[in-house]
Amino acid sequence: YWTTARSMAKQNQPWNAWLYYQQAAALLQPVGFVSSSHLEKLQTEASTAAPPVLQKGVSVDQPLVLRATDGTEYRITGFGFDDSSSKEKVDLVVHLKVDTAGDAAATRKRNSEAARTLVLAYPELRSAFHGVWVSSESPGASPFATEEPMENLR
């Protein structure tokens, strides 16, 4: 992931590079208290390549807020990777903060629209990922995850 992130950074794909750097860091640092010169170098590269909106990171306390064309706001609290599908490209995992879980049909629609809004806002994601998994997370409820292949996110 690290070498791919470097390549993406050189190709002026800051979103893809930042996401791949995050995955490389997760693999290089199995627990939070481990540090190394390699990890520090990777973190420096990642912060240099990060898009301005991601300079401070993404978390529950500092979500990435995306606004759909209809005005709906989606609050993304984290990103991850899923490589379990054995596809040529990995899937992007998005953690979405929601106030209430809602019924399954409404949650599925919200997840799909959140994935669509993300890809429309940052189209470079299409080239690096097979699809987007969205995990809606609300207090006191189980996460509700759905997957959308990139070809469905138009």
How many domains is the chain partitioned into structurally? Answer: 2
59 within some domain: no
- The reported pTM is 0.88
Asked if residue 75 and residue 39 are part of one domain, the reply reads no
Residue 101: its pLDDT value, please?
A: 75
Say if residue 95 is in the same domain as residue 31.
no
> What pLDDT sits at residue 86?
66
Contact between 8 and 20 under an 8 Å Cβ cutoff? The reply is: yes
- Is 44 within a domain? yes
Are residues 117 and 44 located together in one domain of the fold? no
- Regarding whether 96 and 38 lie in a shared domain, the answer is no
Structure tokens that stand for 46 in this block: 């990642």
Considering the domain architecture, whether residues 130 and 77 belong to the same structural domain is answered as yes
- Let me know whether 16 and 83 are in one domain: no
**Does residue 138 form part of some domain?**
yes
- φ and ψ at 153, to 5 degrees? -100, 75
Does residue 75 belong to any structural domain of this protein?
yes
Same domain, 6 and 36: yes
Residue type, 117: T
Question: Does residue 133 fall inside a structural domain?
Answer: yes
Low-confidence ranges of the chain (pLDDT < 50): none
pLDDT for 102 equals 78
Per-residue pLDDT at 151: 94
> Across the beta sheet with 129-137, what order do the strands follow?
64-67, 73-82, 90-97, 129-137, 144-149
- Give residue 127's pLDDT: 94
Residue 148 belongs to a domain: yes
Whether residues 68 and 143 share a domain: the answer is yes
Specify whether 71 is located in the same domain as 46.
no
Q: Does residue 69 share a domain with residue 134? A: yes
Shared domain check, 68 and 50: no
Q: Which domain holds residue 148?
A: 64-152
Domain assignment of residue 17, yes or no: yes
